[in-house]
Structures are given as structure tokens and as C-alpha cells.
A and B are shown apart, each in its own frame.
Chain A
Amino acid sequence: MQKKKNEVKTTNDHPDYSKYAVVFDNVSFFYNENTPTLKNISFKIEKGQYVALIGHNGSGKSTLARLIIGILIQLSGDIYINNELMTDDTAIELRKKIGIVFQNPDNQFIGSTVRDDIAFSLENMCVKSELMEDLIKEYAAKVNMLDFLDSEPSNLSGGQKQRVAIAGTLIRNPDILILDEATAMLDPKGKREIFNLIHKMKDENPNLTVISITHEIDEAYRADKIIVLNDGEIFMEGTPSEVFSHPDELSKISLDIPFFSKLSMELKGISKDVSNVKSMEDLIKVLCQ
């Protein structure tokens, strides 16, 4: 039955989603029938947007990431990637335009050295061997790992390994980059490095859609859009200032808001208008003016 549905549904049958990188239309998924992981999820992510996906553990964030990349296939509803329906048959093809960086730096290091790990992606793309060396160097330079090309994973820090994973992902030239809690296991320095790198990449390539699944509330504030998941359902959706202007509702699902927006809310009426600051630095700047 599933098959038939896929055959009938062609690109022409659905509304025009060419503006969007990812569209979820009433998607549900479960590992265990009694406890649905995702319930009737619908959202649209525009091309070139930076979207943060937040929610506490077990809210279905990682499952959602795996659905986008087609490692898991939705049980009901439709997922459109770049205006094309995701099915079992199209998953491999659609996945070519999506990159994902997972949480654990060690578990996603495939090659025995940095060089080999980046080359793994190229080998899968059937790039000619002669061309690989230059590409590897180019992308290693992008993530600042040029000096470590022959290092083994055991001699690298978590942040460095994640940077290699980003290089191995970006070298596939994806339209959509998913960060599945890519910084959760890193120290603050490593976190900063990764986020700065991602923002740099985003600036270089404005068409790159970034979906960042994160626990870092401060980081989420830098996104264009925030989607809040709770118990497999979308709890809230909107721009950072919209979402973080509801601290009470967020605290109901044990999510916090960034310290500076808490502070700026408290300062309302007491001090200058600080309601639209975007970071701690901005807040300090405005207050010191």
C-alpha cells in the first residue's frame, strides 16, 4: 500500500514547495506503537534559513533529524526535501544534498586519519583519485585542520574531530546541514569553535540551510527561527525573540531562556529599551551607551 501511495504521489501532486528546503506535512513516527516519538509534525523551513530545534531529552529531536536525512522513513505524513517527496526509494538520492553531524565525535570518525576520513565522503561520491588531494586540503583548510591531516583520531580533541566531521560533510556540497547536538560533548572552547565555524560557513554560502538541534539556548538565539519540540509535538515555533518572550510557557517544559533576554525583560521600564537585543554583548553595549 505504501508503495502505491508513493507511485501516485509525484512532484506535481503537492503544493509548490520550491521555496522550502524541508517541509514536514503531518508527519508521525514511532519506534514502539504505544509511545509515539513524533505526533503529526508540520513545519516548513525556507531555503537558506538557520533554524534551531530545541527541546529537552526525549522530545524527538534526533528522530526528526534522522527523518530529514532519510535514515528513518516516516510512518505517516509526507516529508519534502527540496520540493521532492522522501520515500524509501528516493532517500538515497535526496540524501546526497543533506549533510549531518552527529553528537559523538568518536563514533563518526570513519577513516584512520583526518585525511582518510575526509576522503571517505569523496570515495562515496566517486570523485577521481587524482582530484581528491586538492579537495581534501581545501576543506581541511576551511575547518582549520590543515596541520592535522595525518593525525589519528586518538590524538585529536573532540572539537577537532567534530571539525573533521564537518569537513567530511561539507565536502559533499550539501544544501542542508543538520547539526544533531554536534557540540553537546565538547568543552566550551570547542563549542565556540564549532558555532563560529558554522556561522562562517553560513556567511560564505547564504543558500546553505542549517538545522541546528541544540541544548545551547544562547546559540539558538542566533538562529533565524526556533522550533520547540515537546513530547513529539511542536510546542512553539517562531523567531527567537517571539519564542523567548514566553518564558513561563517554556519553563513549563523545563526549558530556559537566555540569560540576557531574562535580564532585558527584567530591565523593562527601569532602564532604556533593551527588548530587541540579540546577545549579551549587544545588551552590554546598549546599556553602556
Chain B
Amino acid sequence: MKSVIFGRYSNYNTPIHRIDPRVKIIGMIVFMVAIFLPLTKVGSTSQYEINMSTATNFIILGIIFLIQLILMLIGRISFISIFKSMKTMWFFLFLIFLLNILIPTNPTAEQTAFNLGTLAISYSAIFSTAYVFVRLVLVVMITSVVTSTTKPMELTFGIEWLLYPLKFVKIPVHEIGMIISLALRYIPTLMEESERIMKSQASRGVDFKNGKFKEKFKSITSLIVPLFMSSFIKASDLADTMEARGYDPKAKRTRYRMLSWRWVDTLWLIVIAIFLGLIIAQCVIGTNYMLLLMNII
């Protein structure tokens, strides 16, 4: 059950672990932007142009993959956990593939990869599925790098710090931070609870594994309802405890965990900025550059 959450914090002391959580969050956002930036020029007509941009996309994703691989090696993140977390993605991948081949493109003979009965499957369908797959893998990788090298509390503090400007538009940033940290704290507890409920329901004859979809759905209800009930009880107990220990969301509080910014963090931030700059530059001039190259040839 515990393996479901990918990228659980692993207690090592690597350079990645030591980076300030704020830098890691910013870095993660930059990487995600880079992963999802589309380079295919909209309205490209020439087949050559499309091929070129597809190729560039894969090259760029390859570079990102390499960088993330290095980060994973430095941060000592287990590759097994990433494979495990990808288990659930196959269904989506299949769905995406299905959608791609069902979009009527009427590929010409040279665009067709193979025929499935009367259905012609084009290279572009395969490529766009592969494209989505690679992107998903990259996203899982980068989030694992961040979540398994940063303590949940630090991550929360980082998010809270980054959200701080929103305070001026009356958004309760501190409360959001508290909510996130409590949610993170209670994930393992609720996991244990649901396991316990599942066992006790199974002992009363509820079958969670077999049966038709409808029956399965019904048996899941017997898990969800008690889980909800116990969560409400937990929440009210927790609220009482917090109140009893003097918590007042509106009052001023001090902090036990302080983030300390070191010069290495500045260095990492510069590296991330350069990376972002390169990505943007590639995005702006990239396709034009390709066109230029093509014209010369």
C-alpha cells in the first residue's frame, strides 16, 4: 500500500537534499515548463518541417532526460520507485494512443506505419503517443527528484514562502501552508486506516478484488463511507488538540524550522535561470532557425 506514493522522502544527505526547497520548487516548475513547451510550429504544412520539429522535440526531451538522470543519480533516487509509479500510467497511454489513431488523418502511403485491418496507423499517431509518454516519464522523474529529496515540511514551507505575495490580496497563505502540512502528515495515517477498514470489511465478506465492475464499486463504498466517518472524527479530534495547544490561525506565531539560504542555493538558482533562458531562446528561434537551415540547404 505504501508503494503507491511515489517519491517518498529518502533520508540521505546528498547535494540535492541540501538545496533550499524554494530553489527546488522553482526548478521543478521550470523543468515542467520545458517539458511541456510545444515546439511543433502551428500550421506547418511541409512534411519536412513537421519531421524537423518532431526531431528537435525529441532531442530537447532527450537532453532534459539526461539532466534529470544526473540529478536522480546525485540525489540517490531509486529507479524502481519510478517504474512502480508508472504502472498506473499504461491505461492512460493506451487511451491516448487510441485517441490518436481514431483521429481521422487519412495518412498517405508513406505516412502509414502499418495497417490494422482497414485502419491505417500513421507515424504521427505513434509519435504523438510516444511524445506524451516521454513527457509523463520526465514529469514523474522531476517530481520524484523533488519529493524524495525534500522533507514534506520543508516543501510546505517552500510553497508557503513562494505564495507569500498572495497575502496582499487577502489570501490566507499561512493557513494554506498549515492545511498542506496536515494533509501530508495524515496520508500515512489514513492509509493505515483504510487498510484496517478493508481487512475488517473483508472479514465480513466484502470482496474487493473479484466481481463485476458494479460489485466492485459497491464494495468500494463499504470502504469509502467508514473512511470518511473516521476522517471526520480525526479532523475534529485534531482541531481540539490544536486549539488546546494554543493554535490560533490569526495570531502571530514563531517558527521552529527556519530555511537558511546558502551561496550554493544562489548558484543553483543561476543555473536554473540559464536553463530557462536556453529553453526560451530555443523556443523563440528554434523553429525559425530550422527553417533558415532548411532554406540554405
A interface with B by C-beta (< 8 Å): 66, 69, 71, 92, 95-96, 98-100, 102, 104, 106-113, 115-116, 119-129, 132, 136, 152-154, 165, 168-169, 172
**Separation in Å of the B184 CB from the closest CB of chain A?**
7
- Can you list 10 A-B pairs, Cβ within 8 angstroms, ordered by A? A98-B244, A107-B241, A112-B151, A115-B256, A122-B254, A123-B253, A123-B255, A126-B252, A129-B256, A172-B245
**Separation in Å of the B155 CB from the closest CB of chain A?**
11
Chain A residues contacting B184 (CB-CB under 8 Å) are: 112
Contact B234 A116 (CB under 8 A): no
Q: How far is the CA of A121 from the CA of B244 in the complex (A)?
A: 9
**For chain B residues 217-240, which have a beta carbon within 8 Å of chain A?**
233-234, 237-238, 240
In the complex, B286 has a CB within 8 A of chain A:
no
Contact B240 A110 (CB under 8 A): no
Q: Which residue of B lies closest to A126 (CB)?
A: B254
**Separation in Å of the A78 CB from the closest CB of chain B?**
21
**For chain B residues 143-200, which have a beta carbon within 8 Å of chain A?**
151-153, 181-182, 184-185, 188-189, 192
Q: How far is the CA of A100 from the CA of B152 in the complex (A)?
A: 27
Q: Which residue of A lies closest to B245 (CB)?
A: A121
**Separation in Å of the A79 CB from the closest CB of chain B?**
16
Interface residue total, chain B, C-beta cutoff 8 A: 31
Q: How far is the CA of A111 from the CA of B181 in the complex (A)?
A: 8
Residue from A98, A110, A119, A129 whose CB has the most chain B CB atoms within 10 Å: A110
Contact B234 A100 (CB under 8 A): no
Contact residue among B188, B234, B238 (Cβ-Cβ distance under 8 Å from A152): B188
Chain A residues contacting B185 (CB-CB under 8 Å) are: 109-112, 153
Chain A residues contacting B188 (CB-CB under 8 Å) are: 152-154
Q: What is the predominant secondary structure among interface residues of chain B facing chain A?
A: helix
Q: How far is the CA of A69 from the CA of B244 in the complex (A)?
A: 7
In the complex, B212 has a CB within 8 A of chain A:
no
B interface with A by C-beta (< 8 Å): 151-153, 181-182, 184-185, 188-189, 192, 233-234, 237-238, 240-248, 251-258
Q: Which residue of A lies closest to B246 (CB)?
A: A124
Chain A residues contacting B192 (CB-CB under 8 Å) are: 154
Contact B237 A102 (CB under 8 A): yes
Contact A119 B256 (CB under 8 A): yes
Contact A99 B254 (CB under 8 A): no
Chain B residues contacting A123 (CB-CB under 8 Å) are: 253-256
Contact B255 A129 (CB under 8 A): yes
**Separation in Å of the A185 CB from the closest CB of chain B?**
12
Given known pairs A95-B244, A125-B246, the reply for A106 and B153 (CB within 8 Å) is no
Chain A residues contacting B247 (CB-CB under 8 Å) are: 120, 124
Q: How far is the CA of A161 from the CA of B237 in the complex (A)?
A: 15
Given known pairs A109-B185, A112-B153, A152-B188, the reply for A100 and B244 (CB within 8 Å) is yes
Q: How far is the CA of A66 from the CA of B152 in the complex (A)?
A: 32
Q: How far is the CA of A127 from the CA of B254 in the complex (A)?
A: 6
Q: How far is the CA of A20 from the CA of B159 in the complex (A)?
A: 47
Chain A residues contacting B233 (CB-CB under 8 Å) are: 107
Chain A residues contacting B151 (CB-CB under 8 Å) are: 112
**Separation in Å of the B162 CB from the closest CB of chain A?**
20
Given known pairs A124-B246, A168-B245, the reply for A102 and B240 (CB within 8 Å) is yes
Given known pairs A104-B237, A153-B189, the reply for A112 and B181 (CB within 8 Å) is yes
Chain B residues contacting A98 (CB-CB under 8 Å) are: 244
